[in-house]
Amino acid sequence: MGHSGVVPTTRRSTAALALTAAAVSLLVTGCTSGSDGGSGDSAPPGISTQGTGKVTGTPDTVTVVLGVQTQGAEANVALAENAQRATDLIDTLKGKGVEAKDIQTSNLSVQPVFAPGGSAITGYEVTNQVTATVRDVSKAGGLIDAAAGASGDAIRVQQTSFSIADDSELRAQARADAVQQAKDQAGQIADAAGVRLGEVRSITEVPAGTPGPYPQAGTAFDRAPSTPVEPGSQELTVSVSVVYDIDD
């Protein structure tokens, strides 16, 4: 007896397996067929896995945010003093080998100072923040000391952060490790499901989430002979999603 439409048949059901700490799954999509010769658009069976590669490197660049803060009874007085101290700071950074392209004014503000518990303005506070990129971590401590010497008590060490200038080789290694992990997991899934692992159907690099904070030096200024700045280590992570065919 004939049929008025196409009745899809599922050839395999979806199987999910948990391997180590990674979540991987066997994705099986059925093909469709009908007595009248129609064909469906469903994808063939496949195995989907996700791998993560992690590598560790030593930062070779430190970014320091230095501030100069001054106060005065009048805004123009506070601003003039701040301008002089900030200029001395920038000249010192350049004298210590920081290139002009690596020095940037990141914040400049003029704010009124109010009397305690009242609304009367007693003066003005001016803050000028300069962000400097130091491409030799070993020189960072001496640079901070020199900056403090140039700006005196007006100096503020707002923030320090570390990075790797060229992390292309590290990321390449992390990608290779991620792909290998995904391949190993796919092979385990195939063995557990009693099927043969086929060729790679697709590989997608999973966008990284918000990176964790990099190691930071203390922001409190220490007038030691040379302020210690330690870069620590930095972890780079790459994740990939890989889909394999299943051989018949």
CATH of the domain at 149: 3.30.70.2970
Domain limit, last residue, from 140, 163, 186:
163
Same domain, 73 and 114: yes
Q: Are residues 158 and 69 in the same domain?
A: yes
pLDDT tens per residue, range 100-159: 999 999 999 999 999 888 789 999 999 999 999 999 999 999 999 999 999 999 999 999
Q: Strands 234-247 and 196-206, how do they pair?
A: antiparallel
pLDDT band at 228 (very low <50, low <70, confident <90, very high): confident
- Please check whether residues 69 and 114 belong to one and the same domain: yes
* Together in a domain, 193 and 153: no
CATH number of 221's domain: 3.30.110.170
Question: 134 and 105 in one domain?
Answer: yes
Q: Mark whether 233 and 215 lie in a shared domain.
A: yes
205 shares a domain with 86: no
What stretch of H or E contains 122?
Answer: strand 121-134
At which residue do the structure tokens 């469709």 appear? 32
Same domain, 146 and 210: no
Structural domain harbouring 133: 64-163
Confidence of residue 232 (pLDDT cuts 50, 70, 90): confident
Predicted confidence (pLDDT) at residue 43 exceeds the cutoff of 50: yes
* Shared-domain flag, residues 54 and 68: no
Query: 172 with 133, same domain?
Result: no
The total of structural domains in the chain comes to 2
Contact 71, 128 (CB under 8 A): no
Are 187 and 231 contained in the same domain? yes
Q: Tell me the percentage of the chain whose pLDDT exceeds 90.
A: 66
- From 163, 189, 215, the end of a domain falls on 163
Choice among 10-14, 206-210, 236-240 with the minimum mean pLDDT: 10-14
| 111 and 174 belong to one structural domain | no
Distance in angstroms (rounded) separating the CA atoms of residues 147 and 136: 16
> Could you read off the pLDDT of 143-188 as tens digits, one per residue?
999 999 999 999 999 999 999 999 999 999 999 999 999 999 999 9
Domain boundary at 163, 193, 222, which?
Answer: 163
Contacts of residue 25, defined as CB under 8 A and 6 or more positions apart, other chains included, come to: 14, 15, 16, 17, 48, 49
pTM: 0.62
